[in-house]
Amino acid sequence: MTELPKTFDPATIESRWYAHWEEKGLFRPERPDATPFTIVNPPPNVTGSLHIGHALDNTLQDIVIRYERLRGKDALWVVGTDHAGIATQMVVERQLNAQQQKRTDFTRDEFVAKVWEWKAESGGAITRQLRRLGCSMDWANERFTMDEGFSRAVVKTFVELHKRGLLYRDKRLVNWDPHFRSAISDLEVETVETKGGFWRFRYPLADGVTLADGSDHIVVATTRPETMLADMAVAVHPEDPRYQSVIGKDILQPITGRRLRIVGDDYADPELGSGAVKITPGHDFNDFEVGKRAGLKAGEMLNMFDADANVVQTADGLIPDRFLGLHRFKKDGVDGAREAVVAEMKELGFLVPHVTKNKEGEEVSADFEPRTIQTPFGDRSNVVIEPWLTDQWYVDAEKLAVAPMQAVRDGAIEIVPKTWEKTFFNWMENIQPWCVSRQLWWGHQIPAWFDADGNSYVAETEAEAQALAGNKVLTRDPDVLDTWFSSALWPFGTLGWPEQSEKLSRHYPNDLLISGFDILFFWDARMAMQGMEFMGDVPWRKLYLHGLVRAADGQKMSKSKGNVVDPLGLIDKFGADALRFFMAAMESQGRDVKMDEKRVEGYRNFATKLWNAARFLQSNGVTASTTHEAPHAALPVNRWIIAETVATVQAIDTAMIELRFDAAANAIYHFVWDQFCDWYIELTKGAMDDETRAVAGWAFDQILVMLHPFMPFITEELWHLTGERANELIVARWPQALAAVDTDAQAEIDWLIRLVSAIRTARTELNVPPGAKLPMVVRDAAEATQRRLDRQGVALARLGRVESLTFGEPPAGGAAQIVVDEATFILPLEGVIDIAAEKTRLAKALAAAEKERDSLGGRLSNPSFVEKAKPEAVSKAREDHGEKTAEAERLKAALDRLG
């Protein structure tokens, strides 16, 4: 047995043990006859680096997989990375730009080859960082969404969905990123508050029609004047009395002269602006739906921008030439379509100015009313997203959503926490067609070919497509698939599908998916759709949704706020074990985790305490246990620690079944820190006989096993430093909570702990000198208590610094009185402290604490403060009130003890 170093140094053991586990294949030991347990990791982007959200997500998964591995299961944690279409293409394009090159300098194949080169050189950063966190993944079978086998699964899925009528080509609005010249998903759109305006314009009524008040025009308000060149209607509320007489009539678009129909639609809010809104279905998602309700087909809706967001001629050819080629906004100092449209409407007399009064009371006129606008930006391009009407490939998500919803209703999929079910159903029941095509070069190229007439032929290979087309000349669709399309196949595509392998049948469905709630729809729901469509069963039995990791003040982390926390920096500072334990202890089913570096440091101290406990045991001749079962014990203190060990195993098992990571972490934390390190070691100091050594060694072994899923590195190190072992801790046996809990021993030692704690508290509060030994007089003790005092007298004398123990009435004079259960324990204090001075001191401190408590209570009971003050100020006041309340109670108890 190697002597433990004096200090615990995480950095020296983490890389050594991780390399050992991986080299020996211990993340996936051969267990063909064991019960399978399977999870898949949400594949991080190949361009990614470990952020604090990854740290939470992967820590929780690793805790589960290590726990199930210790329980003897054939535990498989599927690992891989996502090819991240836009993100990866952007990285490589930036690399080319730095060399004064651009993507279009190369053919598509040449560019894709450069992406593969980049992946070989730089694409493994995230997987190296996951290793630093301690993730025990099946690296020997790592997958990539662009690898050959997975790519085959993606192509087959596309073709099969098309054959089944669940995938089709359609013209609809998409989020268009003019920088990447591609459609993007909702997840890649970031809404930002920007300074904008509200312009009001007069649209003349056609054919001499007037409103009830005689007006020959309708005033419309818009935040996007540039799109009016593609207007197709004006909407008013069907019950708005101002406009009921003109619904169904025509209006003239002032610049293009296009005749627009006035339609009645609930989308128009009578209370907002003039109550009339221009409808541009080709450039606004709400307008698109209004247009459909008005009977417009997508093919009839007008699109006035090209892929770069420059003005182009619409299908009806009514846009004046002077606008063609203009960018939608001002760019590089040159006015865009917005400025040109506003200027022309003003010149034509159709602009309704915004009039306000200045400080002097004079009217001031402006072209628009300033407004703060919620504006969509591409999260990577940082340009304004344009709703754009274009031909794309769509999946019929509405039909695919039926089976997953039924699975959740039937309990075939359990969502934890259950509160997320409502959100799940709300989205699935209102699901829209899923746009799966992207205008990129990097990704799975869509297996579709077009003839000269635009007819499409979908097939797994070009030869099969040509067979469908006959002798027609075909051109392949240049688009690629949305990365969420491929990652939706993750639970079965990673297991070899479409091949019907033994691995697939053994590990599908997966047992559990752990995911952030923010990708419930983008990934989780789509996995459920594809899994049930192609495998005929749910992808996983249970879906656990965790919250976000937020800054200490509760704000969302962002680079712009400067409050992003680097998990690798925390690992460098405190060790991976401390960060992992923090994540587990703070993960309370669905609630967001507030980052707190002090708590991470506290768990580093917890690891140090465990290390020092191992050193103490080693110095007292305690070695690794030779038995998995609890040793026989006669002494109450040993029977107590065995019972507490069994109770902790039971608590962790219950918490893990319920996926209460915080409860599991807190159970092992309090057992290690409080029961074992603080009390068991204290109670057995100087009394290490053979029985106690055997029990201490066994209990410490159980601690290492129970703590291993949370703190794998320090526990594996101590497992080997404390004795000879037949195997590594990572593949040890999980403790069996089968031993009968000795309630008598538990009750006796718990009583002793309460009594010693009360004596120590009283001594501290009353300023009794630390070295002073005091006599103790016991009154009203039951026979059982007297027997306990007899058995535990030695421990009580040592831990409570009790000089002598007698029963009956105490001597006259001041004394501290402690009540534990039915008995009163009296510590005479005459001559030890100045009792009168102590009473004065305590009374003064109590009055001050009560004054502060009542002041804070008054502030918190004032609705004005609670409603108007900053949330952090209210939170701080509540925290301070709780502290002062507890302090007042403690001081009052101390005064009461003095009589």
- Helical (H) or strand (E) element with 69: helix 52-70
Q: At 27, is the secondary structure helix, strand, or coil? A: coil
Please list the helix, strand and coil fractions of the chain in percent, rounded to the nearest 5, in that order: 45, 20, 35
Q: Which residue has the tokens 């392998």?
A: 501
Q: Confidence class of residue 730 from pLDDT cuts 50, 70 and 90? A: very high
> Which residue shows structure tokens 């040109």?
340
Among the listed residues 893, 898, 887, the one whose alpha carbon sits nearest the alpha carbon of residue 768: 898
| Helical pair 420-429 and 402-410, crossing angle rounded to 10 deg | 150
For 642, residues 6+ apart whose C-beta sits below 8 A from its C-beta are: 630, 631, 633, 695, 698, 699, 739, 742, 745
pTM of the shown model: 0.86
Q: What is the distance between the alpha carbons of residues 687 and 691, in angstroms, rounded to a whole number? A: 10
Peptide bond into 498 cis (omega under 30): yes
* pLDDT confidence tier of residue 739, bands split at 50, 70 and 90: low
Q: For the segment 319-344, what is each residue's pLDDT rounded down to a tens digit?
A: 999 999 999 999 888 999 999 999 99
pLDDT of residue 742: 81
The highest-confidence range among 204-218, 798-812, 845-859, by mean pLDDT, is 204-218
For residue 102, CA distances in Å to 208, 635, 885 come to 57, 78, 67
CA torsion sign, 674 to 750 to 820 to 685?
negative
Alpha helices, H only, 564-689:
567-574, 576-586, 597-619, 636-657, 661-670, 681-684
Asked if residues 389 and 173 have their Cβ atoms less than 8 Å apart, the reply is yes
Q: For 881, how many CA atoms within 13 A lie in the half-sphere containing its CB?
A: 14
- Measure the CA angle with vertex 453, ends 448 and 459; round to 5°: 20
Tally the C-alpha atoms within 13 A of residue 862's C-alpha that lie toward its C-beta: 12
Place of tokens 């305006």: 197
CA–CA separation, 76 vs 303, rounded Å? 50
Phi/psi class of residue 719: alpha, beta or left (left: φ > 0; alpha: ψ in -120 to 50)?
alpha
> What is the rounded distance in angstroms from the CA atom of residue 698 to the CA atom of residue 627?
7
- pLDDT, one tens digit per residue, over 751-790 is 999 999 988 988 888 888 888 888 988 888 888 999 999 8
Do 69 and 75 touch, CB atoms closer than 8 A? yes
Q: Binning pLDDT at 50, 70 and 90, where does residue 555 land?
A: confident
Q: pLDDT tens-digit profile of 366-378?
A: 999 998 999 999 9
Query: Does 572 score more than 90 pLDDT?
Result: yes
**Residue 359 confidence (pLDDT) above 90:** no
When comparing pLDDT for 194 and 816, which is higher? 194
Burial class (CB in 10 A: 0-12, 13-18, 19+), 514: buried
Helix ranges (DSSP H) in 620-689:
636-657, 661-670, 681-684
Asked whether the bond before 509 is cis by omega within 30 degrees of 0, the reply is yes
The average pLDDT across 239-245 equals 91
Residue 899 pLDDT > 70: no
**pLDDT one-digit tens code per residue, 819-869:** 888 888 888 888 777 677 767 777 887 888 888 898 888 888 888 787 777
Token digits for 183? 């459609």
> Who contacts 385 (Cβ-Cβ below 8 Å, separation ≥6)?
175, 176, 177, 184, 189, 376, 377, 378
- Among 635, 659, 663, smallest CA distance to 648 is for 663
Residue 282, CA distances (Å) to 305, 325, 345 in order = 9, 18, 21
DSSP character string of 87-156: HHHHHHHHHHHHTT--GGGS-HHHHHHHHHHHHHHHTTHHHHHHHHHT----GGG-EETTSHHHHHHHHH
Listed range (247-256, 314-323, 680-689, 736-745) with the worst mean pLDDT? 736-745
pLDDT recorded at residue 856: 85
The burial class, CB within 10 Å (0-12 / 13-18 / 19+), for 826 is: buried
Phi, psi of 240, rounded to the nearest 5 degrees: -75, 115
Written as six digits, the tokens of 675 are 């029961």
Classify burial at 497, counting beta carbons within 10 Å of its beta carbon; exposed 0-12, middle 13-18, buried 19 or more.
Answer: buried
**563 in Cβ contact with 550 (< 8 Å):** no
**235 within 8 A of 267, measured Cβ to Cβ:** yes
Six-digit token pair at 108?
């598509």
Burial class from Cβ neighbours inside 10 Å (0-12, 13-18, 19+) for residue 282 reads buried
For 721, residues 6+ apart whose C-beta sits below 8 A from its C-beta are 1, 2, 4, 614
Distances (CA, A) of 891 to 341, 780, 886: 75, 25, 9
> Beta 80-81 vs 143-144: how paired, if at all?
parallel
In this structure, are strands 456-458 and 448-450 parallel, antiparallel, or unpaired? antiparallel
Report d(CA 200, CA 205) in Å as an integer. Answer: 16
Model pLDDT for residues 57-66, shown as the tens digit of each residue = 999 999 999 9
Nearest residue to 492 (alpha-carbon basis) of 541, 540, 443, 542: 540
- Greatest mean pLDDT among 95-99, 102-106, 666-670, 863-867 lies in 666-670
Q: What letter does residue 38 receive in the DSSP assignment?
A: E
